[in-house]
Amino acid sequence: MRVLLTTNEDDLAFLTQQAQPINPNSENLQLLADRMLTTVNDPKTRGVGIAAPQVGISRQAFLVKRLDKINAPFELFINPKITWYSDVKRYGQEGCLSIPDQTGKVYRSLVIQIEYCDLEGNEHKEVIEGYTAVICQHEYDHLNGVLFLDQIERSEGFNYAKSETKNALYYELLPPTP
């Protein structure tokens, strides 16, 4: 499938719209998932996640590489809703298949709780941590018409405190100063 790009005015207008819910029992859902997987695995567009709006489908579905699971399979999240974000943030580099030749550092929650349906119509409520949580947040933003560059802009002016652990550096949002 063609990946929509922010460098195209019509694509950008589409990418910044709210996606609509999708019927988890749709007969075309497996075909969409297969085509999105092929697109995200294509050497020209390889990534760790892709949202339906990025391939011109304004529906609430995204595919994420589950780096938190054995063999890192891709999983489809249908009508996802992130119901909780940790206050502890990860500050890391992101890029996007829809934003060519640009990367930037983004604050993302290190842990999230997400509810979604899978391809079999089963409902899930799951806590996801680490980089997989970051990928989910990035793709979830696409469903709401938000790009990672918007997230960078939104975080300007916030104060974060560094919190070092054995192998990583995290950030915590500080309360606003009077």
Scan for tokens 């899978």, then name that residue: 118
- Closest by CA position to 3, among listed 40, 34, 28: 40
Q: Is 96 annotated as a binding residue?
A: yes
Cα separation, 80 vs 106, whole angstroms: 21
Cα separation, 145 vs 106, whole angstroms: 17
Q: Is 117 annotated as a binding residue?
A: no
Cα separation, 73 vs 77, whole angstroms: 13
Tokens in use for 108?
Answer: 């993302």
Biggest CA pair distance of the chain = 54
Q: Select which of 75, 139, 156, 172 is catalytic.
A: 139
Cα separation, 164 vs 97, whole angstroms: 31
Cα separation, 136 vs 129, whole angstroms: 10
Contact by Cβ (8 Å): 20, 58:
yes
Which residue type does 153 have? E
In the annotation, is 123 catalytic? Answer: no
Q: Is 124 annotated as a binding residue?
A: no
Binding site members for Fe cation: 96, 138, 142
Annotated catalytic residues are 139
